[in-house]
Amino acid sequence: MMVAVVLLMLSANHHDLDLADIERLSTGARDVGSQVVAEHPALRGAVVLATCNRFELYLDAGDDGSVLETAPAVAAAHRVVARASGTDPAEVARLMRTTAGEQAVAHLFEVTAGLDAMVVGEREITGQVRRALATARAEGLTSPLLEQTLQHAARTSRQVAVETDLARAGRSVVSVALDLAGARLAALGCERDDATRAHESAADSVPPSSWAGRRTLLLGTGSYAGASLAALRRRGATDVVVWSASGRAEGFAAGHGIETADADLAVALGRADLVVTCRGTGTPVLDVATVAAAVADRAEPLVIVDLALHHDVEPAVAELPGVLLVDLPTVRAHAPQTTADEVERARAIVADGVRALSGATAERQMDAAVVALRAKVSDALTAELDRLPAEGAVPADRAAQALRRLAARLLHEPTVRARSAGREGRTAEHLQALEVALGLHIPSPDSDLDPGAAPADDAPAGAARQDDAPAGAVRQDDASAGAVAADVVPPG
């Protein structure tokens, strides 16, 4: 079963690539959607999903039927990503996996439900998909297909969260990173290698003393900053301050009930035990010189959590004495495993959601037929109403006559086509169509034929055949019941 119109997906994600490759490809992601549509105007819309571990394009490729037929759109997307990221188009084509139709829909649903995440079951991705759709909508890049597909994916994700234990486990990139940071805070005073031992348990296994009394410096004010703050509070952190180069720290602090950090970043670093950075602007905010100065006179190591795909912390900072860095590769290496039963249950819910969307999409293709049918009936009704007096009551016989004429108009063309089907040997096909469209169950004429009955052509001489009735005439014996002869044609 395939969706009726083509959703095209190009993906670079943590399953297939190193995070460095994803980071490189997603450079300039903000403008890729509009540029792809401009590059290939046959595309009806584009949504760009760029997170800490994936870069994906979802494109409405219209009514093409396969990946082969959408090759020009794929090539256009490769060219745009290549220009934005400074990568050779052939390299982009090699790195980005392409799927179309129901496979692309299924992938999007699994992504939105957190089943394709670095930390299986995470909920942040659902909000990221929702924001990606909102961004595309604001830029005029959505289409009915993209709107319906992404909204349905979000609804299915909520169903997974409610009906399985994946979301209740509180798994996310943020939570795993903070679990690792908590373990390092608890291990301060130990050798650095001991502090980087494997993450084995949930956050509540980290002693509250690891967080209580420790100052956390939050760098950034975006959605990940809010998620990080909430996760810190769940772990017992009470001393959290925020710093932002954009000037939005005051607004974020006021909205979340925390304080702003010292405007001098070096001073703020010197006062912090833990730094959580999640800006992702593409330019590191913590370079080697800044961090080295901040830890020069410290007695304890500084724990830094970098949640940005485009590093907020220069990689060389990890080599500084007195610094313990938790970044996305660290999270990837320590992501907790999930139970197979819960994952299978979630995948079953996703599969049901994909089937429901496929059916809904197929239904929408009949909209034009339904509109045309209703318009035809409405036109016939209007024509009969125009024949009635404009004012005053309509006598019952006049009303009945008008209704019979309306029925005659509506039945004329189906009658003609039914007889044409019989002449052309398509009786069974036509009867099946009537049953599907109108719910009529009509036995095959062959099964009810009475060998002893006289054929219609053997009627007594002079008898009027029904076929000879005047156009638009109503059979007299049926008039009282309002029945319309099968042969009537619309009155003039």
CATH number at residue 23: 3.30.460.30
Q: What would the pLDDT profile of 380-399 be if each residue is shown by its tens digit?
A: 788 877 887 777 787 888 88
Q: What is the mean pLDDT of residues 411-417?
A: 83
The structure tokens listed for 489 are 């044609």
Q: What is the pLDDT of residue 336?
A: 75
Same structural domain for residues 299 and 371?
no
Same structural domain for residues 281 and 196?
yes
Same structural domain for residues 116 and 154?
yes
pTM above 0.75, yes or no: no
Same structural domain for residues 383 and 356?
no
How far is C-alpha 301 from the chain's CA centre? 43
Residues recorded for the chain: 492
Whether the CB-CB separation of 37 and 141 falls below 8 Å is answered with: yes
Same structural domain for residues 70 and 213?
no
Residue 303 lies in a domain: yes
Residue 485 lies in a domain: no
Q: What is the mean pLDDT of residues 189-209?
A: 43
Same structural domain for residues 210 and 109?
no
Residue 37 lies in a domain: yes
The binding site for NADP(+) comprises 220-225
Q: What is the pLDDT of residue 255?
A: 93
Please state, in angstroms and rounded to a whole number, the distance separating the CA atoms of residues 67 and 473.
57
Mean pLDDT of all residues in the chain? Answer: 80
Residue 147 lies in a domain: yes
Same structural domain for residues 54 and 198?
no
Q: What is the mean pLDDT of residues 174-189?
A: 80
Residue 488 lies in a domain: no
Check residues 415 and 131 and name the one with the higher pLDDT.
Answer: 131
Q: What would the pLDDT profile of 200-236 be if each residue is shown by its tens digit?
A: 444 444 444 567 778 999 998 877 788 889 889 988 8
End-to-end CA distance of the chain: 47
Same structural domain for residues 357 and 442?
no
Q: Is residue 476's pLDDT more than 90?
A: no
Residue (of 354, 340, 353, 358) closest to 164 by Cα position? 340
The structure tokens listed for 404 are 């019979």
Domain-terminating residue out of 324, 349, 364: 364
**pLDDT band, residue 169 (cuts 50/70/90):** low
Q: What are phi and psi of 44, to 5 degrees?
A: -95, -10
Q: What is the pLDDT of residue 461?
A: 42
Q: What is the pLDDT of residue 139?
A: 96
The binding site comprises 220-225
H or E stretch including 216? strand 215-219
Residue (of 192, 235, 242) closest to 217 by Cα position? 242
Q: Is residue 191's pLDDT more than 50?
A: no
Q: Is residue 84's pLDDT more than 70?
A: yes
**b/e code 210-233 from CB counts within 10 Å (16+ = b):** bbeebbbbbbbbbebbbbbbebbe
| Range with lowest mean pLDDT among 140-154, 230-244, 272-286, 360-374 | 360-374
Residue (of 12, 11, 75, 90) closest to 43 by Cα position? 75
The answer to whether residue 278 is catalytic is no
Same structural domain for residues 327 and 384?
no
Same structural domain for residues 390 and 427?
yes
Q: Is residue 273's pLDDT more than 70?
A: yes
Please state, in angstroms and rounded to a whole number, the distance separating the CA atoms of residues 463 and 461.
6
Widest distance between CA atoms in the chain: 122
Check residues 130 and 334 and name the one with the higher pLDDT.
Answer: 130
CATH number at residue 310: 3.40.50.720
Residue 127 lies in a domain: yes
Same structural domain for residues 104 and 231?
no
Domain residues for 114? Answer: 7-169+339-364
Q: What is the pLDDT of residue 250?
A: 92
Same structural domain for residues 292 and 415?
no
Please state, in angstroms and rounded to a whole number, the distance separating the CA atoms of residues 259 and 267.
15
Structural domain count of the chain: 3
Residue 2 lies in a domain: no
Catalytic residue, from 6, 8, 25, 52: name it: 52
Residue 492 lies in a domain: no
Residue (of 358, 354, 305) closest to 328 by Cα position? 305
